[in-house]
Chain A
Amino acid sequence: MTLILVRKLLRDVRPALVVVCLLLFAFAGLWVKITQRVTAEITPFFDIVAARASLNPRVFEEVIFRGPGKVSQAVLGGADLRFEQPNDFLAVGMLHPIVLVLGCVWAVGRAAGAVAGEIDRGTMELLLSQPVPRNRLILAHFLVDCVVIPTLCLSFYAGTQFGLWAVGPFTVDYTAVRKLGLPIPIPEVPRAMPVSGTPELPALSNLAALLFALSGITMALSANGRSRWKVIGVGVLVAVVMFIANVLGQLWNDVEVIRPFSIFYYYQPQKIMLREEWTTNLGAVWNGGRPLFDVPVVGFLLAVGAAGYLIALRVFTRRDLPAPL
């Protein structure tokens, strides 16, 4: 029975899943090209200009990305990244708003349709007039998440690998700088930069966990709702409020204590990708930088999602099934 439900639910989401997978694939491929442009063409330009002005090239990075505006942290989310390094810049792709918006809209939209959407459409009566235990329906949606979310993440990974194949080696190109005719020494031989998409794969487990957490939260709302659009509205509101709370905490140290209350605080795939750091220490925001305790970021997000599903299970197995709107 569960398998029949899972197959049916997968069939329902198939068209939208294909579209979102293609979008993630395309974005990841495009991000590789952007990474190549920035690290192999733009960064060398800054390096040369810095040499001309007798400055350390890191000055540009410090001012633009990690200066008072904390642009990199607030906008790109990539604290402690070195943007002249291809893999560092590649990691920012997972933090890009396009990826977050696509993922969040998917997770919220699908979970909202799970219970509230079925009630809204009137098909829940048809389903539950069969000998289907309500908990099986929630279990089926959980299993669909277990299939669909990794599929989305693998699409992103496939896009990165495709992009790396299509773009080819990252070679620093001094042609544009040479055309400027600056009176400084410019290397004659193009320099190859190391880049690899493989470390992205484990880091994408953090994206999968984030989507699962959002799905679980929305599932809890959906199990108690009867209108899909109302649940989507509340789900999006919750996601946006948590996102803003995390950004505010990044911008102003005075309010950074609120960051751990946002699921986006535990979304740090760049640390997993670049330094294999799977935990975050809450002392950074709750104890003035002194170590407090480590929280496994993937585990925490999975726990949030699981809690959402458990709440959904409890609510849905006890509630009245209202007539369709």
Chain B
Amino acid sequence: MLNPLLVAENLTKDYNSFRALDGLDLALAPGEVFGLLGPNGSGKSTALRLILGFLRPTLGRATIAGFDCWRRGVEARKRVAYLPGELRLYENMTGRQLVRFLAGLRGDTPGREVDDLAKRLDIDVDRPLTQLSSGMKRKVALLTVLVPKVPLIVLDEPTNTLDPTMRDELLDQLRQAKARGQTVLFSSHVLQEVEAVCDRVGILRLGKLIHLQEMTDLRGGRSVNARLVGPPPTAGPGGAPLGPNTITPEGQLSLTFRGPLPVLLDWLAKLALDDLRVEPIGLTPIYKKYHGAA
């Protein structure tokens, strides 16, 4: 990858004898949206905290725009906006005061974009934070992340406590960030939202990055589930051989197809079917492969 914005090289973190992150190698390009997936304790937050310079790596290093996240953390963090998973804000401030305070620490003075974004996110930024619900506080925190136009946005489970409408709004904001050329790195448990916005995902298990997935590969494939009421086919779509478990004795057909949609539709049209479901492959089967039930 040419000129990656974020690079992690053998990034490792030990807590005494416990290895929380084990040799993470990763490079994110400018304008890429990358999702980190994994259950609790898989190392997602540790990876993000190392990238933000909160933790000192035991081995390896992470850099943002070439600046070491630990040794030159200030330079690195000038290029990052971060939304923590465990959200705690200064409760004695209003939303506007918080945005101004954090922007002031960056040497910025936020302008009209605060009100514009607040309107889109449906927040009253002049109310004290102590009077806001947890969902509203998360929106204020999102505002603090979206206002500075930095090259990298890091979000730790950003849709926690957001209602479905605001979740969609957030995902839309992430798409806009990508369109502006900002890189987004976020961790999540919710596969659907990762599928919706990410260009790539990484799956972590016990501190190790065990799978990297280009989402374009998944989007080109479809899973087919149908119930046959006539004779079973002798070959798959486009004449491809059928796997041994593709059709059950009860006539249940399940297969994954990668190829042009008309080929699949032609093949299906020749079958006598009682029921049919065709879906994008999605992350669920891949996630299940490594972590059981998604």
A11 located at the interface, meaning its Cβ lies under 8 Å from any Cβ of chain B in the complex: yes
| In the complex, chain B residues 129-157 whose Cβ is within 8 Å of any chain A Cβ | none
Q: How far is the CA of A126 from the CA of B137 in the complex (A)?
A: 13
Report the minimum CB–CB distance from A54 to chain B (whole Å): 67
Which residues of chain A are within 8 angstroms of B92 by Cβ–Cβ distance? 11-12
| CB atoms of B90 and A123 under 8 A apart | yes
B54 located at the interface, meaning its Cβ lies under 8 Å from any Cβ of chain A in the complex: yes
Which residues of chain A are within 8 angstroms of B53 by Cβ–Cβ distance? 128
Report the minimum CB–CB distance from A113 to chain B (whole Å): 13
Q: How far is the CA of A54 from the CA of B49 in the complex (A)?
A: 81
Given A1-B105, A130-B105, A131-B74: A321 and B49 within 8 A (CB)? yes
Interface string of B75-94 (1 = CB under 8 A from A): 10110111010111110100
Q: How far is the CA of A123 from the CA of B54 in the complex (A)?
A: 13
Q: Which residues of A contact B (CB under 8 A)?
A: 1, 4-5, 8, 11-12, 121-123, 125-133, 318, 320-321, 323-324
B229 located at the interface, meaning its Cβ lies under 8 Å from any Cβ of chain A in the complex: no
Interface string of B41-53 (1 = CB under 8 A from A): 0000100010011
Which residues of chain B are within 8 angstroms of A323 by Cβ–Cβ distance? 45, 49, 86
Which residues of chain B are within 8 angstroms of A320 by Cβ–Cβ distance? 54-56
Given A130-B77, A324-B86: A4 and B55 within 8 A (CB)? no
Report the minimum CB–CB distance from A284 to chain B (whole Å): 48
| CB atoms of B74 and A132 under 8 A apart | yes
Report the minimum CB–CB distance from A172 to chain B (whole Å): 52
B249 located at the interface, meaning its Cβ lies under 8 Å from any Cβ of chain A in the complex: no
Q: Which residues of B contact A (CB under 8 A)?
A: 45, 49, 52-56, 73-75, 77-78, 80-82, 84, 86-90, 92, 101-102, 104-107
| CB atoms of B84 and A125 under 8 A apart | yes
Report the minimum CB–CB distance from B225 to chain A (whole Å): 41
Partner of A4, one of B78, B88, B90, B105: B105
Quick one: closest A residue to B86, CB to CB?
A324
Q: A8-B101, A321-B55 are in contact. List 20 more A-B contacts (CB 8 A).
A: A1-B104, A4-B105, A5-B105, A126-B88, A126-B90, A126-B102, A128-B52, A128-B53, A128-B77, A129-B52, A129-B77, A129-B81, A130-B106, A131-B75, A131-B78, A131-B106, A133-B74, A321-B54, A323-B86, A324-B88
Quick one: closest B residue to A325, CB to CB?
B86
| CB atoms of A126 and B55 under 8 A apart | no
Which residues of chain B are within 8 angstroms of A324 by Cβ–Cβ distance? 86, 88
| CB atoms of B86 and A4 under 8 A apart | no
Which residues of chain B are within 8 angstroms of A5 by Cβ–Cβ distance? 105
Given A131-B105, A131-B106, A132-B105: A126 and B74 within 8 A (CB)? no
Which residues of chain A are within 8 angstroms of B106 by Cβ–Cβ distance? 130-131
Q: How far is the CA of A121 from the CA of B92 in the complex (A)?
A: 13
| CB atoms of A123 and B89 under 8 A apart | yes
Quick one: closest A residue to B80, CB to CB?
A129
Report the minimum CB–CB distance from A116 to chain B (whole Å): 14
| CB atoms of B84 and A131 under 8 A apart | no
Which residues of chain A are within 8 angstroms of B90 by Cβ–Cβ distance? 8, 123, 126
| CB atoms of B102 and A130 under 8 A apart | yes
Q: How far is the CA of A127 from the CA of B88 in the complex (A)?
A: 11
Residue contacts A-B, CB under 8 angstroms, 12 given: A4-B104, A122-B86, A123-B90, A129-B77, A129-B84, A131-B75, A132-B74, A133-B73, A320-B54, A321-B49, A324-B86, A324-B88
Q: How far is the CA of A208 from the CA of B15 in the complex (A)?
A: 41
Q: How far is the CA of A129 from the CA of B80 in the complex (A)?
A: 8
Quick one: closest A residue to B54, CB to CB?
A321
Q: How far is the CA of A126 from the CA of B101 in the complex (A)?
A: 11
A126, A127, A128, A132 interface centre (most CB from chain B within 10 Å): A126
Which residues of chain A are within 8 angstroms of B82 by Cβ–Cβ distance? 125, 129
Q: How far is the CA of A124 from the CA of B94 in the complex (A)?
A: 18
Given A318-B56, A323-B45: A123 and B88 within 8 A (CB)? yes
Which residues of chain A are within 8 angstroms of B74 by Cβ–Cβ distance? 131-133
User: What 3 pairs across the A-B complex have the smallest Cβ distances?
Assistant: A122-B88, A129-B82, A321-B54
Quick one: closest B residue to A5, CB to CB?
B105
Report the minimum CB–CB distance from A137 to chain B (whole Å): 10
Q: How far is the CA of A125 from the CA of B90 in the complex (A)?
A: 11
Partner of B54, one of A12, A125, A133, A318: A125
Q: How far is the CA of A1 from the CA of B84 in the complex (A)?
A: 22
Which residues of chain A are within 8 angstroms of B78 by Cβ–Cβ distance? 131
| CB atoms of A121 and B88 under 8 A apart | yes
Which residues of chain A are within 8 angstroms of B75 by Cβ–Cβ distance? 131
Quick one: closest B residue to A121, CB to CB?
B88
Which residues of chain A are within 8 angstroms of B80 by Cβ–Cβ distance? 129
| CB atoms of A4 and B101 under 8 A apart | yes
Quick one: closest B residue to A128, CB to CB?
B54
